[in-house]
Amino acid sequence: MDAIDTDSATGSGRDPGARRTTPHLLVVGATGALLPAVRTLTARGDIVTAMARTAADLRDLERSTHGAARPLARDFEAPGLREALARAAHGSPFTGALLYCPRASPATVRTLAGAVPPGRPVVLALTSEHAAPDGEAGHEESAEAESIEGDAGEGDAASWSPALLPAGARPTPGCRLLVLGWRPRPEGSRWHTAGEISEAALRVLDAGPPRDAVLGRVRPWPTRPSA
C-alpha cells in the first residue's frame, strides 16, 4: 500500500499560491472522536467551528483553546442547520471539514458537507458497518485501498476499498472517505481511540492528491470486535 503523501499536503485547505488567510475548519463530532483533531488544528493556528450536541462540553473546549474553537451546539436533525452553518461561516468561509456523525441522516450529512465551498477538502469518517461484506467479497482482492497503519509492521491493513461503496456514501463530489476499521491484536481486535481516529482524519484532510482511506483493517470480517 502507498503511504499518504503529506509532503505535498495543502493543509486544512490552504492554497500555497494564495494570500495567507487563517484556515477555518468545520469539525462535527468535536467533543468525541474528533476532539484530539480540534486540539491539533487550534494548536497549529487554525480556527475551528466545533459542532456537537452538548453545550457544556463545547464551552469547556472553547475555554481550553482560548476561543480558537468556536462552539456550535446543535442536534444535527433539528431544523435550521443550513442557516446555522451559514452564520458560523459568515465573514470567514470554511476552508475544510472533518465530519464524524454516524447517526446523522444522509440529508443532514449532505448539508454539513455542502457548507464547505467546492474544491476545499471535506473528510467524512464512516464506521466499519459500511464495509460489511454484503455479497461484494468476490471483488475484494482486486480493489485498491489506501491504508493508514497504526503500527509499523502490522501488514496489509485492508483488502477492501471505499471504491466498493455505493455512490450515495459520498455526500458531495470530491468528499474524502475515511472508513474506520479496527486494530488486530493477539488477544483480540479493538476499536481505534479518538487520538488514532483524529490523527488519521487529519492525514486524509492534509493529503495531496486527495484519496479515500481505511484506518486499520476491515478484513477478515470475523475479526471485527464484537463491542
pLDDT of residue 149: 59
- Determine the pLDDT at residue 141: 33
pLDDT of residue 152: 32
Q: What interhelical angle do 35-43 and 55-64 show, nearest 10?
A: 30
Residue for grid cell 476552508: 95
Residue-by-residue pLDDT tens, the chain, 227 positions: 333 333 333 455 555 444 568 999 999 999 999 999 999 999 999 999 999 999 999 999 999 999 999 999 999 899 999 999 999 999 999 999 999 999 999 999 999 999 999 999 999 999 999 999 974 433 333 333 467 754 433 434 447 899 999 988 999 999 999 999 999 988 899 999 999 999 999 999 999 899 999 999 999 999 999 86
Instruction: Please tell me the pTM assigned to this model.
Output: 0.85
What is the rounded distance in angstroms from the CA atom of residue 135 to the CA atom of residue 84? Answer: 40
Which phi and psi angles does 45 have, rounded to 5°? 100, 5
Q: Please state the φ and ψ torsions of residue 63, each to the nearest 5 degrees.
A: -65, -45
Characterize 197-225 residue by residue with b for buried, 16 or more Cβ atoms within 10 angstroms of its Cβ, and e for exposed. bbbbbbbbbbbeeebbbbbbbbbeeeebe
Position 164 scores a pLDDT of 92
